[in-house]
Structure 1
Amino acid sequence: MAICIYCRQNARCTREHVIPSFLYDYVDRTAFPTLSSWNEASKSQIPVEHKVKDVCAECNNRHLSALDSYGKEFLSRNNLLRPIYENRLTLNYEYEPLARWLLKIAFNASRASGIVDPISAAYTAYMLTGESSPSAKRFFILVELLRPHLHDSISEELQPLVNERGESNPFLVRLTRTIFPEGLQERLSIDSVGFGGLFFHLAFIRNSVPSYEASQLKRRVLADNHWTLLLDRNAKQMKLQASHRNWIEMRIGQSYREQQLLSGDDDPFPLR
């Protein structure tokens, strides 16, 4: 018996996939035969199908399972469970279940990595039932469509990744945390959830930031990330245009940090 991280009841806890299990069926195992993910607590690579065991059966099998069902329907309806080569994309969505599903995935990832951010943990009731919706001033989501990467040359190893034009934009699920300049990370955090070429950046402004400063900080984030679009809470559809980044450029910072840490070097971008 243990305290469930969501409902806070003392109950027998079950295992919850950090990344919803249905997504593994769509990753190209030929191109990526040895899938792994980064664990922040141990500073090491771990098997990609990582699980946490702090969720009771009621929350896991009822509420969180319903969110995963919505996530699968959302990705399928928008034809996103594949490599994306288009430079423009129309996204159809329902804000509340999509936001709750993305929050759940990011929250699971933070617990698995041992870097739980208390600001995201404060939204467990919202993730679970939709109650206590977070303020648009304190929580917002940016959406980014990554452009395909055009390869100069294509080796035999790369063949499964590229199309007839020599482009790649493989379907992988990525969970990352944005690295900020010194000082800004005490006021803001951004967790990113990526499905192939489509990324959702979940921005949290801390409650310690005064209301008027929170508004200014949100405007700054939107201006500094002008190639992304704000996910409108009141809309059902949005039109995306590919950003200046491709999937390889998106991975550079995190890949470099992991290589440095695995080599025993100091952390070039320490997270807090």
Structure 2
Amino acid sequence: MSSTRECAYCGSKENLTKEHVIPDCINKRNPDQEISYFSRKNKIFGSDLTIKDVCEKCNNDYLSTLDQYICDLHDKYFSSYVETDEQIIFKYDYDLLLRSLLKILYNSSRVNKTRFKSLQKLKKYILHGENRPTHIKLYLKLITPYKLKFGELIKAPPEFKKTGKLPPEFTRVTTLSADIEKIDMPTVAFNSYYFMLAIPQKNITAQEQKEAISNLENLTDSPKQLLSKSDSLKTKGSSWDIAKVFKAQGLNSMKALLEYNARN
């Protein structure tokens, strides 16, 4: 009996392999950080998410290049936390970066059943770099460590007690800004580096999109846009620490993180 599953990128039903939502090379570089946060249950689990629907050819011949690019960025940038007002010059290849982030979002969409249809339309760009989606804008916000309060220090694991800070040590798919009307803002976070993709919702007019983007860029301590015509961005650690991120999302995930680390 033949399998009904097929490759999410090319449609092949042959040699389907396991695909990590977050590149496995990132997980291997952060062995103590292999955790996944589920907002609906407000729980953190000690494992990364995978999905088995990518054929061997797509995985090894095309997508592996994107994984390697993200891991190279990790080694150069993401492995270090950024402090408030710390100056950073982030150098990037726009298409490789955008394709890598869209790949992660597309992986996540198939696991969590969110944004699947809109991301599925971009699979050829993710795979081969064909027809860059000009309607998507890419931003970067640098999230900083949170200074723990006395009561939190008591419950914190030893490594946090030593520094007195809760670092932004999440690698995950999330949403940092949920209040931009008619614009979806999925975010891929690598420790301090929060990459935000502004994706217009269906049926939005050009004027509505322009106004929504203007509202985003006029926010206090707004994210900085990564331009396709550039290869570097000068920016700095924002006033947003990891606790503000949790609060903006309406989550109690900092408590969940402290509890998880205390048990392990």
Pick the TM interval, shorter chain: 0.7 to 0.9
Answering whether residue 190 of structure 2 is matched by residue 195 of structure 1, we say yes
Please state how far the C-alpha of 1:76 moved relative to its aligned partner.
1.4
Deviates more, 1:149-158 or 1:85-94: 149-158
The more displaced of 68-77 and 214-223 is 214-223
- Report matched runs for 1:244-255 at 5 Å: 244-252=239-247, 253=249, 255=251
Opposite residue 191 of structure 1, the aligned amino acid is P
Shift in CA distance, 28/161, structure 1 to aligned 2, threshold 3 Å: farther
Determine the C-alpha separation between the residues in 2 that align with 1:57 and 1:222: 41
Higher helix share: 2
Q: Deviations over 1:124-180 (max 9, x none)?
A: 111111001101xx201110011221223333734313665x334243212113564
Taking a change above 3 Å as real, the CA distance of residues 8 and 132 of structure 1, as seen in their structure-2 partners, is: farther
Structure 2: 5+ residue runs without aligned partners?
Answer: 256-264
C-alpha distance in structure 2 between counterparts of 1:248 and 1:25, whole Å: 26
Alignment of 1:4-153 (within 5 A): 4-27=7-30, 29=32, 35-38=35-38, 47-78=46-77, 80-85=78-83, 87-135=86-134, 138-153=135-150
- One-letter code of the match for 2:194? F
Give, in whole Å, the separation in 1 of the partners of 2:119 and 2:74. 23
Give the number of aligned pairs. 248
- Is the Cα–Cα contact under 8 Å of residues 82 and 237 in structure 2 kept in the other structure? no
Distance 1:43 1:248, change over 3 A: closer
Q: Which moved more, 1:222-231 or 1:233-242?
A: 222-231
Structure 2: which amino acid aligns with 1:99? L
Report the identity percentage.
21
Structure-2 change in CA distance of 1:160 and 1:254 (3 Å): same
Letter in structure 1 aligned against 2:229: N
Q: Which runs of 5+ in 1 are unaligned?
A: 260-272
Structure 2 counterpart of 1:221, which letter?
Answer: L
Tell me the TM-score normalised to structure 1 length.
0.79
Q: 1:100 to 1:162 in 2, by over 3 A?
A: farther
Q: Deviations over 1:221-261 (max 9, x none)?
A: 222365210011111111112222101221232534999xx
8 Å Cα contact 1:39/1:46 also seen in 2? no
| 1:71–1:101 CA contact under 8 A, matched in 2 | yes
Residue 233 (structure 2) aligns with: 238
2:221 and 2:98 map into 1 onto residues whose CA distance is 21
Q: Distance in 2 between matches of 1:203 and 1:118?
A: 16
Residues 225 and 96 from structure 1, CA distance in 2 versus in 1: closer, same or farther, beyond 3 angstroms? farther
Equivalent residue in structure 2 for 1:219, among 205, 214, 219: 214
**Greater mean alpha carbon deviation, residues 202-211 or residues 219-228:** 219-228
Mapped partners of 1:162, 1:238: distance in 2: 34
Q: 1:127 to 1:39 in 2, by over 3 A?
A: farther
Q: Identify the range of structure 1 (203-212 vs 104-113) with the bigger mean alpha-carbon deviation.
A: 203-212
Match of 1:174 in 2: 172
Pick closer, same or farther for the CA change 1:147–1:257 going to 2, 3 Å. Answer: closer
RMSD of aligned residue pairs (Cα, Å): 2.9
Q: Helix, strand or coil for the counterpart of 1:64?
A: helix
Alpha-carbon separation, structure 1, partners of 2:63 and 2:161:
35
Could you state the TM-score of these two structures normalised by the residue count of structure 2?
A: 0.81
Q: What is the deviation of 1:77?
A: 2.6
Contact 2:138–2:226 (CA<8 Å) still a contact in 1? yes
Cα displacement (A) at 1:82: 3.2
Amino acid at match of 1:97: L
CA contact (8 A) 1:82 1:170 kept: no
Tell me how far apart the structure 1 counterparts of residues 27 and 53 of structure 2 sit (CA, whole Å).
22
